[in-house]
Amino acid sequence: MCGIIGSVVILCVGAILVVVSCLVTFIAIPSLIENFVINSVVLLEDTIQMERFEDVPFYLNFSVTIFNISNPNEVLNGGVAAVDESGPYVYRLYQGRNVSGLEDDLITYRKTEYFEFDAEASYPYTEDDIVTIINVPYHAIIQIAERNFPELMSVLPLAMNGIFGQYNNPIMNVRAGDLVIDKIPMCTRPGIIGTIACAAIREMASTADNIEVQDDGSVTFSILANKHNVASPKYEVYRGLTEPRNLGIIRHFDGLPYFNYWTDEEGEDGEVIKSRCNDINGTDSGIFPPLLNRNNNLYAINTDICRSVELRFQGEVEFEDIPAYRYSANEWFLDNDDGCFCLNTTAGITQENGCLFKGAMELYSCVGKCHLYCIILLFCFGTASPLSICCIDRLQCSGNVLLLFI
């Protein structure tokens, strides 16, 4: 009897121990860790994470690859361009956030970015390399003139030299550093006819991110200068205090809960139905919420391409001995089955339905309202970038996004 009771008791104690240890391993410890994780990421004032949020303590590698035309003379005679990838030209991208408001569960800030050329990581490429590319501003000016000032077209050739100086050619040889960030000058000595054209260019500059008016009235063009040391539009995001899984999720960007770049639909009685392309999903791509579930996708917005990007779980990795999940965006993010990313403004590389071929994105509404012509650049983020964007089977690159400024 005793023996039986004894063994039942032992069994019970054993079972309780098992239950207790199960609770400890499967419930208690994870929730301790969960709380620890939550407390070390949500955006409370005067915490290390807030400091990290405001002044990101590491830089990202921002790589730019330029397509260098190797047969410029053939292209000028109507041939198809043959291009070599030149680069990557690696820039250290330092990021910060200038916080202007904390209110309940929301934080308001502008992002700031600062680029610095990394000569070592770029070796053997240097900022002084001369690359041969399509002369983007040149084609933009001609298209604008054709559309808006057809009466000027006959005299335009006389003005082009004054506008473009040494870059007065449909294809330009340009210093890589000037193209990317140091700015290509235009309208420095416009002459009489050029003055009119330059006035039009200055006007265009107000809607085109890549064109900037200088104090002396001249105009500059570059790919990144408009981001360098310039505050972004305002972000309003969740601090994660009431729901940690919302940490960093954008509520409003530039004052709105959606983008306005892409094609919306019209309802039956004429009201506008926001298309999914204009969704603002996820975070600013520099912060992600905790407690991820690998079955759920992440989203972040990428302001270079004016849209949300879907990131999917790719596998388990280790970062400095800490197990981690790797998420990335692959070609799926260019899926455009419902067509709302089609703007129908770009000709020449379109499918029958008017949309661009898969792998290309039309950035007409994103980069600025002026018609910038076909410069192809690959922006590659470093491997440790929170947003590793991949693309485009036809160009056989990975870790990149193809940008067509058209």
Residue 128 or 216 having the CB closest to ligand NAG: 128
Q: Least distance to ligand NAG from the beta carbon of 333, Å?
A: 8
Q: Least distance to ligand NAG from the beta carbon of 240, Å?
A: 18
Q: Least distance to ligand NAG from the beta carbon of 131, Å?
A: 5
- Estimate to the nearest angstrom the gap between the alpha carbon of 273 and the chain centroid: 25
Q: Which residues bind ligand NAG (CB under 6 A)?
A: 60-61, 68, 70, 72, 86, 98, 112, 121, 129-132, 263, 276-277, 279, 281, 299, 307-308, 310, 342-344, 353-354, 382-384
Contact in structure between 311 and 387 (CB atoms under 8 Å): yes
Q: Least distance to ligand NAG from the beta carbon of 354, Å?
A: 3
Residue 46: CB atoms within 10 A of its CB come to 6
Q: Least distance to ligand NAG from the beta carbon of 133, Å?
A: 9
**DSSP state letters, 170-220:** SEEEEEHHIIIII-EEE-SS-HHHHHHHHHHHHHHHTTBTTEEE-TTS-EE
Residue 67 or 221 having the CB closest to ligand NAG: 67
Q: Least distance to ligand NAG from the beta carbon of 54, Å?
A: 9
- Estimate to the nearest angstrom the gap between the alpha carbon of 212 and the chain centroid: 20
CA distance linking residue 138 with residue 167, whole number of Å: 8
Residue 214 or 365 having the CB closest to ligand NAG: 365
Contact in structure between 262 and 365 (CB atoms under 8 Å): yes
Q: Least distance to ligand NAG from the beta carbon of 187, Å?
A: 26
Under the phi-then-psi rule, with left for phi > 0, alpha for psi from -120 to 50, and beta for the rest, what region is 228?
beta
Structure tokens at 326: 């790797």
For ligand NAG, the nearest residue by Cβ is 354
Residue 43 or 145 having the CB closest to ligand NAG: 43
Q: Least distance to ligand NAG from the beta carbon of 397, Å?
A: 17
CA distance linking residue 305 with residue 362, whole number of Å: 9
Residue 77 carries which DSSP code?
A: T
Q: Would you state the torsion angle of the CA atoms of residues 39, 41, 45, 49, taken in this order, to the nearest 10 degrees?
A: 120
Q: Would you state the torsion angle of the CA atoms of residues 223, 229, 233, 236, taken in this order, to the nearest 10 degrees?
A: 130
Residue 180 or 201 having the CB closest to ligand NAG: 180
Residue 279 carries which DSSP code?
A: B
Residue 276 or 394 having the CB closest to ligand NAG: 276
Residue 34 or 331 having the CB closest to ligand NAG: 331
Residue 86 or 135 having the CB closest to ligand NAG: 86
